[in-house]
Amino acid sequence: MKPLPDSQALITDLYELTMAAAYFENRCQDVASFEMFVRRLPRERSYMLCAGLEQALDYLENLRFAPQEIEYLRSQPVFEHVGHDFWEYLAKFRFTGEVWAMPEGTPAFPGEPLLRVTAPIIEAQVVETFLLTTIMFQTMIASKAARVVEAAQGRDIIEFGSRRAHGAGAGVLGARAAYIGGCAGTSNVASGHLFGVPIYGTMAHSFVMAYADEAEAFARFERIFPHSILLIDTYDTATAIGHLAARGLKPAAVRLDSGDLIETARQVRADLDAAGLAGTKIFASGDLDELAISSVLAAGAPVDAFGVGTELATSRDAPVLSAVYKLVEVEIAGQRQFRAKFSESKTSYPGIKQVFRYADATGCYVRDVIGRAEEKHSHAITLLECVMRGGKRLRPCPPLREVRDRAHSLLQRLPRQYRLLRNAERYTVRVSDELQALLDQVRESRQL
Amino acid sequence: MKPLPDSQALITDLYELTMAAAYFENRCQDVASFEMFVRRLPRERSYMLCAGLEQALDYLENLRFAPQEIEYLRSQPVFEHVGHDFWEYLAKFRFTGEVWAMPEGTPAFPGEPLLRVTAPIIEAQVVETFLLTTIMFQTMIASKAARVVEAAQGRDIIEFGSRRAHGAGAGVLGARAAYIGGCAGTSNVASGHLFGVPIYGTMAHSFVMAYADEAEAFARFERIFPHSILLIDTYDTATAIGHLAARGLKPAAVRLDSGDLIETARQVRADLDAAGLAGTKIFASGDLDELAISSVLAAGAPVDAFGVGTELATSRDAPVLSAVYKLVEVEIAGQRQFRAKFSESKTSYPGIKQVFRYADATGCYVRDVIGRAEEKHSHAITLLECVMRGGKRLRPCPPLREVRDRAHSLLQRLPRQYRLLRNAERYTVRVSDELQALLDQVRESRQL
């Protein structure tokens, strides 16, 4: 059995399907608009970098309920009062709606809609769970990667964390997101094959240990992979460098995976230089994150590139990005009705929206305004684009390399005080007067 | 494009494949044994509950490199010095090894091998990444679930977190693991379909908001799903209960998803009772974890069941379970050679092992001993079982319901002081004299 079904239709919460049945039985075919946004960022984050849209659109285009999936649903007692027509409907179900979204690689902030779905309410509701998990997971990892890349000050970061990711799928898609966030590549081969992410690899301690002698292990590896990266800390780094010199091996880099990195890197650099291996670089890994990398570089440790695993692949310090998917308007008999939620701290703004981003004369971002979709702000750029209409993509997703380049250049336009790893300033996001007025109007109409 | 490839062969770190090529080119076909274990538990955990073995064995049985995957690998510059024979080998690659493992639902502790692979070294190495991510992710979630279930003191816990899981696959497999850990079921429909996990659902705020009137929304839902769970906190709980009474609706439960749960649950219980709905239960959700559930119940709040999402689906307080997969012996020309790692705090014990668990006269566990596989401890039970030989499962995996029951009964044998949610005592795990002697012997032989 495969770890995931061929069809993705049942990767949803049951309530999406019970609500679908209830809408269907009540003949509710109203067109609804839902928006996805994040209310608050984790304490350790100051921005998001959007990712995952390609997989979200793949899902919407290919969403089908297979016959055996419908059989499974029908066999569940909860559906016993649901009539035959609903199952016929589900067998022919297609997503036919319209999607607006921020393209992958766009920096975004809390409160801003990252994606909007407008579709017959059943369709718009059924896709909620999959869209949330797909976009939020990749956005979380891309955002974490951007911090790690920032810390490395131009040195390469390789994503190494598949073994610690939340299952095989998280490893593959997390590697994709980490690349969007600025990593140079990944160790995850499937992410290379599926998405074109550059792949990197070194060797494991087990390879060194499989041979009776470390020098023999190095020589055997270099014969097949000349100018590669050798792991030199299985036993003792100085002895290992001695083996390289004695055998005339000139690896592209040596990898350090344990110990006090600052001290070890300095000693290893000196030993390499003394052994005539000035051209051999130092690649460091082992429980690194953006703060550790900052410290290592601030101490002047001669590290040329970093492998980051666990902390990046799980966004360990902030492993959740809580987004919501809220109903903002319904079209009933051709008439727009606005919806909002007022309970306690969970207010949501009614109506479909657009995000307007203002830049200064040098192109640096100064503030965003969340407004009604119909508003015009002539000096701002609009962040939400129509990417799907009638259930079909309007254009193919761009190559991932372009997405990564775009993310990099847009992040550079976000002034540095908003990108600090710690105590970053909060970027200004305002609600437009028109949107505020609509909220007040909806609130009043409810109180009447 | 699907989020995951049909074949899982490339869901691995590149270095597994470069090492495979290096072993192949060097004609190394030695049989190697690797063991998977966790060095240290996260601060908040006192035991693990094993899960994920079924998916690991599925993977091993079905592992194949598809022609287009081999083409992809050959096109990578890193492999330019690798000869044709290796690609021929990879095209016919099958996992032919032997696997010993703790069955799913077994409580386990740091240092104990959870799984052992014995196979020609290339096979044993290539599967490392997939085995680690598969077993560690589900073990992490099952272990978290066991804590949440413990906190609920017999009340049902429903896993609700798919939308916050690390992608679609993590939601499906996490729901499976949460069920092993004792949850009553999940909202994830695919996990119900694929694994038989019981599925549960309520309704979303959006359903209530889609209708102009909350009372109408309730009535329309109850018509199709009589005796269901209605969400009553979209606007005001007292008003909502008034609607139920006025319309003669008798839901099985009402769901509360916001606000101060202790206070709200008391008020709602009183309102329900006053409205003649004493039979209607209270189902609570909203940012709950094991500590919040403990507090709610300690305060005597009348909650009958809990939905737990984010905290469970991501194991948010401890989102990483760091396991390693270590080479412990190699058979070279028919002779066993032991391998161990001595660097700093990362010592690993050589040789294949068994875990011996001792119980007292009442069946309660008192200590574990990690020993050499060949040892006999006549009063202990052995935890590692042979589950695969020659690349084939020895028996089908048991139904998930049985795995869950087994987990529950074994956890009850772990005395309460080791299961406390906070400040649990550390369970005793010792290394046998024979294993310690082997380590000393291997260390000495290296120093000669």
ipTM rounded to 2 decimals: 0.96
From A359's Cα to the closest Cα of chain B, the distance in A is 33
CA nearest B446 in A: which residue? Answer: A212
Which of B6, B7, B11 to mutate to test binding with chain A, by most A CBs within 10 Å of its CB?
Answer: B11
Helix (H, G, I), strand (E, B) or coil at A2: coil
Query: H-type helices in B299-395, by residue range?
Result: 310-313
Average pLDDT, chain A: 94
Q: In whole angstroms, how far apart are CA B276 and each of B73, B241, B269?
A: 68, 10, 11
B224 → closest Cβ in A22, A73, A188: A22
User: Is residue A405 predicted with pLDDT exceeding 70?
Assistant: yes
Output the pLDDT for position B334: 85
Helix (H, G, I), strand (E, B) or coil at B253: strand
Q: Do A22 and B128 count as a contact with CB atoms less than 8 A apart? A: no
Output the pLDDT for position B3: 42
In the structure, what pLDDT confidence band is assigned to residue B1 with cuts at 50, 70 and 90? very low
A224 → closest Cβ in B82, B323, B337: B82
Q: In whole angstroms, how far apart are CA B119 and each of B31, B99, B123, B330, B353?
A: 5, 9, 6, 10, 16
The average pLDDT across A16-45 equals 94
| Torsion angle defined by CA atoms of residues B167, B173, B175 and B180, in that order, rounded to the nearest 10 degrees | -150
Which of A8, A14, A443 to mutate to test binding with chain B, by most B CBs within 10 Å of its CB?
Answer: A14
The average pLDDT across A156-181 equals 98
From A379's Cα to the closest Cα of chain B, the distance in A is 35
Please give the Cα distance from A331 to A334 (Å, whole number). 6
% of chain B surpassing 90 pLDDT: 87
Q: Do B5 and A121 count as a contact with CB atoms less than 8 A apart? A: no
Residue numbers in B near A203 (CB within 8 A):
15, 18-19, 22
Question: What secondary structure letter does DSSP report for A398?
Answer: P
The average pLDDT across A53-74 equals 96
User: Is residue A402 predicted with pLDDT exceeding 80?
Assistant: yes
Which of B7, B60, B70, B163 to mutate to test binding with chain A, by most A CBs within 10 Å of its CB?
Answer: B163
The average pLDDT across A118-137 equals 98
Please give the Cα distance from B272 to A271 (Å, whole number). 76
Strands B353-359 and B365-372, bridge-based pairing: antiparallel
Q: Do B15 and A258 count as a contact with CB atoms less than 8 A apart? A: no
Q: Do B125 and A204 count as a contact with CB atoms less than 8 A apart? A: yes
SS (H, E, C) B178-230: HHHCCCCEECEHHHHHHHCCCECCCCCHHHHHHCCCHHHHHHHHHHHCCCCEE
The average pLDDT across B32-36 equals 97
Output the pLDDT for position A442: 92
The average pLDDT across B307-336 equals 95
Output the pLDDT for position A447: 66
User: Is residue B164 predicted with pLDDT exceeding 90?
Assistant: yes
A133 → closest Cβ in B162, B200, B339: B162
Residue numbers in B near A34 (CB within 8 A):
206
CA nearest A316 in B: which residue? Answer: B319
User: Is residue A283 predicted with pLDDT exceeding 90?
Assistant: yes
Output the pLDDT for position B344: 59
Output the pLDDT for position B258: 82
CA nearest A22 in B: which residue? Answer: B221
Output the pLDDT for position A2: 42
Q: Over the stretch B94-118, which tens digit does the pLDDT of each residue have?
A: 999 999 999 999 999 999 999 999 9
Please give the Cα distance from A104 to A405 (Å, whole number). 11
Q: Over the stretch A219-259, which tens digit does the pLDDT of each residue have?
A: 999 999 998 999 999 889 999 999 999 999 999 999 998 88
Which one has a higher pLDDT value, B12 or A27? B12
User: Is residue A3 predicted with pLDDT exceeding 50?
Assistant: no
Residues 6+ apart with CB under 8 A from A173: A52, A55, A137, A138, A141, A191, B3, B167
Strands B365-372 and B429-431, bridge-based pairing: parallel
Q: Over the stretch A290-322, which tens digit does the pLDDT of each residue have?
A: 999 999 999 999 999 999 999 999 999 999 999
Q: Please, what are the domains in chain A?
A: 14-139+320-447 (3.20.140.10), 202-281 (3.20.20.70)
% of chain B surpassing 70 pLDDT: 98
Please give the Cα distance from A433 to B197 (Å, whole number). 49
From A52's Cα to the closest Cα of chain B, the distance in A is 10
User: Is residue A377 predicted with pLDDT exceeding 70?
Assistant: yes
Average pLDDT, chain B: 94
